[in-house]
């Protein structure tokens, strides 16, 4: 695929994507003949186009085939941004699409290196098309519609460029449709791209809706833009501005940390933290006051997910069903593939027969407890499943007895402590691949942690500790002191709170800690990672397509 197709993607693609898998805030019966000239002629047409942007954005989590998946085949590409960090590793359940990221053999033709570039420029091109047509249209239902749809488009353009600069560094910045096709793109400096991202997000903060209770589930509000703007300011090392942006969200009073039981299973055993990850508990309509932006993937619902959407469960959950004495069960998270598994240093080995891993100077409580203190709600049995009991009634000798986790069951992916936030199963179809559960992309706990990062950047550890302690108090653990409040402590706290939710690679890159933390905690990579691995290579297809001028490859990856 060449660069022109990466960048010049028509709104028709967005509309077709929306037709296949739009969120539930759009109920219109879309037509197969949609094209920009006959669609972007009214507010309704722009609503259709904007819905296509949501669909493309969530397709990051697509995998194999079906109507929703149009750029990926292999593991869930999201895993490539988690593996090769301090968080998780590839074990015996290896997927070849992840191996290059696990052993740092990735190159310019590696699958996800190309698909993330393609995905991002698909989203950018579709946003650009909507923006261009919005300047031509004069048929708006309400006077504010033009700015509203432009704000959504500019948010998604910023969102896509954020991925590109994290992954590739300097990338072509394009804000229009290239016609005729351009074969001489140059790489825009990262700092300049970040300025464009900030400009887009500022516009979004001014024109997206303010009241999250006045929009339908999945729709953006200005607070999602403020949250993302805080992170982008951190990327620029504009720590004062990052602090102000995060504080805007916190001070809005629209959101609060979930501290009481709520939602579908509130009468069952559990706790407020684990409640947020119960199916149907992600949106504000369920009582979740913490969610700022939620991607919609509901099961068996028009506009919901497909079997190709969001394989996060398959990534993180063990293959327990391969152990004699187990059968598939929704209560055990459904059918996992264990393509990645948590590292022992942070999740600990308490209650298992696995060998603890001690890391000198890691700030751990103990090798068995990992980085969790006793009583931490995020380490409860409701959030991390450490005790597994045989559930096959046909195996009378083992039924109901505990199956111990060992080094072997962990390393081959059959059994290990599992994050229940990614459990998903349906008794009527336990072979389901998609997770079919809405995904919280931004939530208030992370806003507090972004605020703490901003304070650390200003050398204000006391204020950083105050921000982190808001999150820790919900988790029922002691406050962190000013003296303890370091960037490494904050990175550990982000694991405790956001493991598997955040893009771990991005967090480590933004804080300048990727190389250091990998060398310290990642045994598979500590001796092979080099400075150039902070960026991915430019896809070879992009270099080949740029025929009229040389398109430089990132250092360390050589030529074709």
Residues recorded for the chain = 560
**What tens digit of pLDDT does each residue of 502-525 get?**
999 999 999 999 999 999 999 999
Residues facing 318 on adjacent strands: none
pLDDT at residue 232 in the model:
98
Q: Tell me what the mean pLDDT of segment 364-383 comes to.
A: 92
pLDDT at residue 462 in the model:
98
Q: Tell me what the mean pLDDT of segment 106-111 comes to.
A: 96
Query: Is 80 exceeded by the pLDDT of residue 448?
Result: yes
Query: Is 70 exceeded by the pLDDT of residue 397?
Result: yes
pLDDT at residue 189 in the model:
98
Query: Is 90 exceeded by the pLDDT of residue 33?
Result: no
Which has more confidence, 119 or 301? 119
Close Cβ partners of 433 (under 8 Å, ≥ 6 residues apart): 63, 64, 307, 308, 311, 314, 335
Residues facing 385 on adjacent strands: 418
Q: Where do the domains of the chain lie?
A: 3-308+539-545, 312-429
Give the percent of the chain with pLDDT over 90: 79
Residue 391 to residue 409: CA distance in whole angstroms: 17
Least confident of 26-40, 266-280, 331-345: 26-40
DSSP assignments along 454-498, one per residue: HHHHTT-HHHHHHHHHHHHHHTT-PPPPTTT--HHHHHHHHHHHH
Of the pLDDT bands very low, low, confident and very high (cuts 50, 70, 90), residue 28 is very low
pLDDT at residue 433 in the model:
81
CATH code, residues 3-308+539-545: 1.25.40.390
Tokens of 175: 């804000």
Query: Is 50 exceeded by the pLDDT of residue 24?
Result: no
pLDDT at residue 10 in the model:
36
Q: Are 26 and 47 in contact (CB under 8 A)?
A: yes
Q: Tell me what the mean pLDDT of segment 287-307 comes to.
A: 88
Of the pLDDT bands very low, low, confident and very high (cuts 50, 70, 90), residue 35 is confident
Query: Is 80 exceeded by the pLDDT of residue 347?
Result: yes
Close Cβ partners of 560 (under 8 Å, ≥ 6 residues apart): 108, 540, 543, 544
Residue 264 to residue 261: CA distance in whole angstroms: 10
Average pLDDT, the chain: 90
Tokens of 5: 């197709």
Give the percent of the chain with pLDDT over 70: 91
Q: What 3-state class would DSSP assign to 219?
A: coil
Of the pLDDT bands very low, low, confident and very high (cuts 50, 70, 90), residue 366 is confident
Of the pLDDT bands very low, low, confident and very high (cuts 50, 70, 90), residue 308 is confident
Our measurement of the distance from residue 137's CA atom to the centroid of its chain's CA atoms, rounded to an integer in Å, reads 34
Close Cβ partners of 355 (under 8 Å, ≥ 6 residues apart): 344, 349, 407
pLDDT at residue 514 in the model:
98
pLDDT at residue 22 in the model:
34
pLDDT at residue 68 in the model:
57
Of the pLDDT bands very low, low, confident and very high (cuts 50, 70, 90), residue 363 is low
Least confident of 56-70, 118-132, 180-194, 250-264: 56-70
Close Cβ partners of 539 (under 8 Å, ≥ 6 residues apart): 108, 109, 113, 114, 117, 118
Query: Is 50 exceeded by the pLDDT of residue 27?
Result: no
Smallest CA-to-CA distance from 503 within 42, 64, 111, 79 is with 79
**What tens digit of pLDDT does each residue of 480-502 get?**
999 999 999 999 999 999 999 99
**What tens digit of pLDDT does each residue of 236-261 get?**
999 999 999 999 999 999 999 999 99
Q: Are 76 and 142 in contact (CB under 8 A)?
A: no
Residue 367 to residue 357: CA distance in whole angstroms: 6
Tokens of 362: 């890691």
CB atoms < 10 A from the CB of 458, how many?
13
Query: Is 60 exceeded by the pLDDT of residue 551?
Result: yes
Q: Does the reported pTM lie above 0.75?
A: yes
pLDDT at residue 434 in the model:
82
pLDDT at residue 79 in the model:
93
Of the pLDDT bands very low, low, confident and very high (cuts 50, 70, 90), residue 313 is confident
pLDDT at residue 303 in the model:
72
Tokens of 388: 């597994």
């Amino acid at each position: 695929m060449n660069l022109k197709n990466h960048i010049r993607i028509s709104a028709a693609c967005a509309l077709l994507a929306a037709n296949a898998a739009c969120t539930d805030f759009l109920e219109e019966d879309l037509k197969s003949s949609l094209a920009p000239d006959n669609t972007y002629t009214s507010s309704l047409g722009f609503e259709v186009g904007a819905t296509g942007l949501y669909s493309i954005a969530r397709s990051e989590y697509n995998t194999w085939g079906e109507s929703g998946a149009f750029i990926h085949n292999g593991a869930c590409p999201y895993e490539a941004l988690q593996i090769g960090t301090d968080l998780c590793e590839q074990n015996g359940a290896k997927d070849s699409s992840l191996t290059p990221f696990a052993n740092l053999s990735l190159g310019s033709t590696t699958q996800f290196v190309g698909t993330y570039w393609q995905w991002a420029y698909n989203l950018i091109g579709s946003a650009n098309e909507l923006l261009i047509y919005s300047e031509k249209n004069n048929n708006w239902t309400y006077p504010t519609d033009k700015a509203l749809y432009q704000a959504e488009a500019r948010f998604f353009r910023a969102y896509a460029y954020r991925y590109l600069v994290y992954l590739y560094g300097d990338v072509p910045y394009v804000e229009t449709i290239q016609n005729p096709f351009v074969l001489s793109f140059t790489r825009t400096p990262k700092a300049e791209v970040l300025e464009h991202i900030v400009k887009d997000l500022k516009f979004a903060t001014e024109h997206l809706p303010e009241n999250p209770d006045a929009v339908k589930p999945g729709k953006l509000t200005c607070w999602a833009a403020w949250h993302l703007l805080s992170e982008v300011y951190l990327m620029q090392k504009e720590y004062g501005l990052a602090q102000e942006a995060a504080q805007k969200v916190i001070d809005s009073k629209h959101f609060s940390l979930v501290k009481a039981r709520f939602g579908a299973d509130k009468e069952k055993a559990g706790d407020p933290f684990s409640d947020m990850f119960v199916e149907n508990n992600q949106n504000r309509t369920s009582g979740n006051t913490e969610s700022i932006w939620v991607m919609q993937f509901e099961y068996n619902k028009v506009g919901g997910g497909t079997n190709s959407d969001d394989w996060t469960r398959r990534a993180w959950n063990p293959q327990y069903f391969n152990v004699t004495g187990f059968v598939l069960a929704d209560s055990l998270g459904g059918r996992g593939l264990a393509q990645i598994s948590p590292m022992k240093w942070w999740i600990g080995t308490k209650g298992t027969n696995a060998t603890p891993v001690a890391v000198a100077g890691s700030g751990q409580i103990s090798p068995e407890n990992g980085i969790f203190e006793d009583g931490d709600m995020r380490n409860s049995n409701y959030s991390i499943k450490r005790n597994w009991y045989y559930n096959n009634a046909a195996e009378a000798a083992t039924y109901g007895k505990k199956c111990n986790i060992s080094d072997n069951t962990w390393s081959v992916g059959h059994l290990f402590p599992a994050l229940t936030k990614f459990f998903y199963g349906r008794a009527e179809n336990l072979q389901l691949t998609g997770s079919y559960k809405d995904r919280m992309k931004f939530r208030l706990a992370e806003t507090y942690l972004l605020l703490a990062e901003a304070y650390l950047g200003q050398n204000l550890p006391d204020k950083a500790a105050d921000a982190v302690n808001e999150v820790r108090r919900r988790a029922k653990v002691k406050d962190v002191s000013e003296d303890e409040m370091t960037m490494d402590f904050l990175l550990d706290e982000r694991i405790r709170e956001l493991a598997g939710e955040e893009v771990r690679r991005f967090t480590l890159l933004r804080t300048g800690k990727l190389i250091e933390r990998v060398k310290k905690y990642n045994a598979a990579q500590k001796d092979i990672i080099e400075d150039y691995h902070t960026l991915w290579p430019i896809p070879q297809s992009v270099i080949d397509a740029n025929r009229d001028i040389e398109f430089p490859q990132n250092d360390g990856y050589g030529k074709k």
